[in-house]
Amino acid sequence: MPTLETVSTEALVQRGITLFRKCFPNSGEPTVASAAPGRVNLIGEHTDYNEGFVLPMALEDRETVFVGTSFLDSGFGSLPRARLVSELCPDQPVEFALRNISPGEAYAGPAWANYIRGMVAQFLERSVRVPSFDAVVVSEVPLGGGVSSSAALEMACAVFLQEITGVSLDPVERARMGQRVEHLYAGVPSGIMDQLISAAGVAGSALLIDCRTLETRAIPLDDPEMVIVVVNSNVKHSLADGEYGRRRRTCEQAAAALNVASLRDATREQLEASRTRGILGPPEEKVYERALHVIEENNRVLHAVSALQERDYVRFGKLMYESHESLRTNYQVSCDEIDALVEIARQVPGVYGSRMTGGGFGGCTVTLVRADAVAMLLERIEALYPKRTGKHPTSFISKPGPGSRPLAIEHS
């Protein structure tokens, strides 16, 4: 099975410098660089937009990097402008004026650049003067794999814009800006987990996030005998196709029926009573099942934090399996390929737990496994997954890395 190569942040910056020199030969040397990681959510799925709890970690060596420079002279009439190039499509540069950006205006450019337009708009809405800039984007965050490539792009862009404007924003504010970009420019009514873990990740720790207060607590995950393996089913997903939004609306419907501000405040007893009274809507709308997942998933996150702190990996893994089963049956956001990966992992000695991670409908699994069992796990997946699904997976091993930050540029 192909295993993604580990690429250091320093190597990404050098790739960015090389690309910048090639694409912008008349712009001088790049002066600003920033990085932001993708993420994997260990447990707590579809709880963030219900103001619940999540336990993600930032992915070390799976980062998106901005490299660029800014100018006083716009070179675009009297308006400041941005010129952008992605490593994925270097022959398709993007250029736009840095004013009057709105989600309602017609936009025919590539989707990745729209996230950047959206982030620039967040700065402009705060009356920040954004100077003209040239920048390139390079990344080792898998696209469409449920590890938050869009959040990494947004947070790397936010730090880059901070650096060229001199504005200081805390991680929570940057995360809120990224969430608005998702809502307004990508059409995804997401919670804030992806942006906040990318903005505020802590090396060596998972991050318990309270998605109501946005308070965070680092939970150490630095046992050298334990490894996090992320396996991409290579079933691509798009959260803008309606199912994600449908789940969110159903949760809001459930909260209204239960007379609570959000499902974060609901209990299993309240849910059962409402079901008995017949106020949750027609059975085919699955309001009960969706709410049941959220209520129990919040409890699983808190139990998982306790297990991790006690290094009780058996208990933690059991909670991962319970989470996946609920996502499969109650929330119905898994798929056959993801289920196959979880079942294959479950049969490997040394695997403590495995589950789907991310919004669902494809993407990745996350597996907690002993370091000495990783080779067997990957061998089993490589042998069995294609037979069961006709698809070929990719994987990578990671540990908790740091969140978004500016980077030093060293020219060679």
The residues carrying an active-site annotation are 194
Would you say 238 and 144 are in contact if contact means Cβ atoms under 8 Å apart?
yes
The neighbouring-strand residues paired with 356 are 365
* CA 143 – CA 112 distance, rounded (Å): 11
Give the number of C-alpha atoms closer than 13 A to the C-alpha of residue 394, restricted to the C-beta side.
13
* CA 86 – CA 92 distance, rounded (Å): 8
Residue type, 200: A
* CA 225 – CA 233 distance, rounded (Å): 25
Would you say 98 and 134 are in contact if contact means Cβ atoms under 8 Å apart?
no
Tell me the two tokens of residue 255: 């909260």
Tell me the two tokens of residue 12: 């990404």
**b/e 270-284 (16+ beta carbons within 10 angstroms → b):** bbeebbeeeebeeee
* CA 44 – CA 264 distance, rounded (Å): 12
Give the contacts of 126 (CB within 8 A, at least 6 positions apart): 167
Element (H, E) at 308: helix 287-309
Tell me the two tokens of residue 281: 């809507």
β-pair type (81-86, 132-139): parallel
* CA 257 – CA 271 distance, rounded (Å): 9
DSSP code at position 251: H
DSSP code at position 361: S
Q: Which of 1, 111, 15 has its CA nearest to residue 407?
A: 15
Tell me the two tokens of residue 232: 């991409």
* CA 204 – CA 226 distance, rounded (Å): 12
The H-assigned helical ranges of 42-144 are 111-125
The neighbouring-strand residues paired with 237 are none
Would you say 67 and 124 are in contact if contact means Cβ atoms under 8 Å apart?
no
